[in-house]
Chains A and B, each alone.
Chain A
Amino acid sequence: EPEVTQTPSHQVTQMGQEVILRCVPISNHLYFYWYRQILGQKVEFLVSFYNNEISEKSEIFDDQFSVERPDGSNFTLKIRSTKLEDSAMYFCASRPRQGTYEQYFGPGTRLTVT
């Protein structure tokens, strides 16, 4: 069964550094998402992406964040200058097509900012 994959599984970085989290959505899915979960808190929506552009973003997704689909398979989340409060589990998700509603999640990348 096809799965969303994410790399790395764990990333440790210093405050102020740039990080790129990578995701490979399920092939032929059209809608892509990033969520995050700070330890002990809810899963929170960051951004959705469709047709090579952002379709929706939350108030969390400020100018420090960007997303890209550089080729036909990868979907990346970049944090330009990490802060301590960016430490969280970051989940990528994808959805096949309009008219389907469930999203399929990857295993997550644990980002630790020191």
Chain B
Amino acid sequence: AQSVAQPEDQVNVAEGNPLTVKCTYSVSGNPYLFWYVQYPNRGLQFLLKYITGDNLVKGSYGFEAEFNKSQTSFHLKKPSALVSDSALYFCAVRDTTGRRALTFGSGTRLQVQP
């Protein structure tokens, strides 16, 4: 069975500082990994994905994520946080061999303080 863990319910960071939102995963095969963001009263918006290739993937709004196979992690990062980045962030995984649907983490609320 596939699973995703987001160990932090909330991350607080000052505007202009780097941010990291953590994600670890478990799959039986190789993972496809995703980050989504949810703003209030909006659906989940796709940010970035790792399918294969370079471990560092870049996505929308200056976000990036690093795939680490040995640590089974896919942490979301941004060099300089903006107040407008404040939202709920979800990590998701899809197994290449088993279930094709996305399995989501519980979400991490990012709060960027001015």
Contact = CB atoms under 8 A, between A and B. Distances in A.
B107 A105 contact: no
B104 A42 contact: yes
Interface of A: 4, 6, 33, 35, 41-45, 48, 55-56, 58, 91, 93, 101-108
Indicate the size class of the contact surface on chain B.
Answer: 20 to 34
Contacts, number: 52
B34 to A, nearest CB: 6
B26 interface: no
A101 B32 contact: yes
16 contacts: A42-B106, A42-B107, A43-B92, A43-B102, A43-B107, A45-B99, A45-B103, A48-B100, A56-B99, A56-B100, A58-B101, A93-B44, A101-B32, A101-B51, A104-B46, A107-B41
B46 A43 contact: no
A44 B44 CA distance: 13
A43 B44 contact: yes
Contacts of B100: 48, 55-56
